[in-house]
A = this chain, B = another copy of it.
């Protein structure tokens, strides 16, 4: 007998439409076309040299053995100290769990807290994996449409309005993917209050912290030590492929987090953890801050350029490396728009449908993980594409 039925969760886990874009982009590249990639959420900068050096030294030792499940004690301490320095927030190192990327952090946080059929509130638009992780654990994501009026973020009123007995948690991301918006501090604090008043868990996705270009991004820990905070060395620290992130848990969850992490990961990659010890070195931070300055210039360039071409960006992004732009001046089908733009001009972008359903057909996401000269060429191509359409 052939067994080929899938678990039910696979039916609620959405595919990424951008994968079709990416596949076609690779086909076109194989045919010799020069594709400009603005669809990928990965910094173009190499990993900073001190981190590389620390990784190489670890490999040269030949001994790349398992670390404790919660991570290298020195790395947990470094991360805790970073919260003190950067946010003036005290975090006990015991609350810090080093994970295989922020993906591992989210799995750990959800695994600790969600039962089947529990509901998690999040925004529409939102990073698509978040809802799919909730499905993995047989719980439900409820994506709440948000607009520029609330910085594309939830508000205490939205949380209270959507709360019902099945709701167990709220996930918010600041800076947000795809919108690049930051939760204003008072809104952030009141959202945490609302969730805790309703007796829910608060997951704070802070993986784009550090990549902010105007006002600072606050950590949820500023207002509560009863939140789950996800972060990662991938984005600001330039360590995507290394797969190392972290989760900060409330004190009452330390023992359970240790037990769960042991079982589901054994541990995060050892050489990546050793390398990440160099991530907080002053020389590394200097380099990362220079990159941040470049990202800020790129944002200004791309934002201005898109607005000039007739895209609408109702709220200028303040963080991450994305512009989420309304393209309804040119199309009523942003997925087709993205496909056609790739096909005729070789510019790859991500359609809104990958981030939710609410007015998704009007939206596309541009990643500015490219030098300005390349983006200038991209804008020229887009201008030509629009003019022909």
Contacting pair B1 A241 (CB below 8 A): no
Any chain B CB within 8 A of the CB of A92?
Answer: no
Q: A260: which of B10, B115, B266 is its contact (CB, 8 Å)?
A: B10
Q: Does A314 contact B (CB under 8 A)?
A: no
Q: Assuming the A-B contacts A3-B196, A56-B59, A60-B52, are A13 and B260 also in contact, with contact meaning beta carbons closer than 8 angstroms in the complex?
A: yes
Beta-carbon contact of B270 and A136 below 8 Å: no
Q: Answer yes or no: A100 CB below 8 A from chain B CBs.
A: yes
Instruction: List B contacts of A62 (CB < 8 A).
Output: 46-47, 49, 52
Q: Which of B46, B56, B65, B265 contacts A63 (CB 8 A)?
A: B46
Contact A10 B112 (CB under 8 A): yes
A266 with B101, Cβ < 8 A, contacts A55-B59, A271-B241 known: yes
A85 CB-CB contact with B under 8 Å? no
Chain A interface bracket (under 10, 10 to 19, 20 to 34, 35 or more): 35 or more
- Among A145-153, A248-256, A290-298, which stretch is in contact with chain B? A248-256
In the bound assembly, the distance between CA atoms of A246 and B221 in angstroms comes to 37
**Out of B13, B55, B266, which one reaches A103, CB within 8 Å?**
B266
CB distance from A150 to the nearest CB of B (A): 24
- Cβ-closest chain B residue relative to A67: B241
Contact in complex: B64, A241 (CB < 8 Å) = yes
- A112 neighbours in B (Cβ, 8 Å): 6-7, 10
For A13, give its contact among B67, B115, B263 (CB under 8 Å): B263
Q: Which of these, B64, B201, B240, contacts A240 with CB under 8 Å?
A: B64
Is A133's beta carbon under 8 Å from chain B? yes
Whether the Cβ atoms of B259 and A243 lie closer than 8 Å is: no
Check A8–B242 contact: CB distance below 8 A. no
Interface residues of A in 89-111 (CB under 8 A from B): 100-101, 103-104, 107, 111
**CB contact between A55 and one of B9, B264, B271 (< 8 Å): that residue:** B271
Q: Is the C-beta of A272 less than 8 angstroms from some C-beta in chain B?
A: yes
A-B contact pairs, 20 of them (CB 8 A): A4-B253, A7-B112, A9-B111, A10-B260, A13-B263, A19-B262, A42-B65, A47-B62, A49-B62, A65-B240, A65-B241, A101-B266, A107-B264, A241-B267, A241-B269, A242-B269, A242-B271, A243-B243, A243-B266, A243-B267
Residues of A within 8 A of B (CB): 1-4, 6-10, 13, 15-16, 19, 42, 46-47, 49, 52, 55-56, 59-60, 62-67, 100-101, 103-104, 107, 111-116, 128-129, 132-133, 136-138, 196-197, 199-201, 226, 239-243, 250, 252-253, 256, 259-260, 262-272
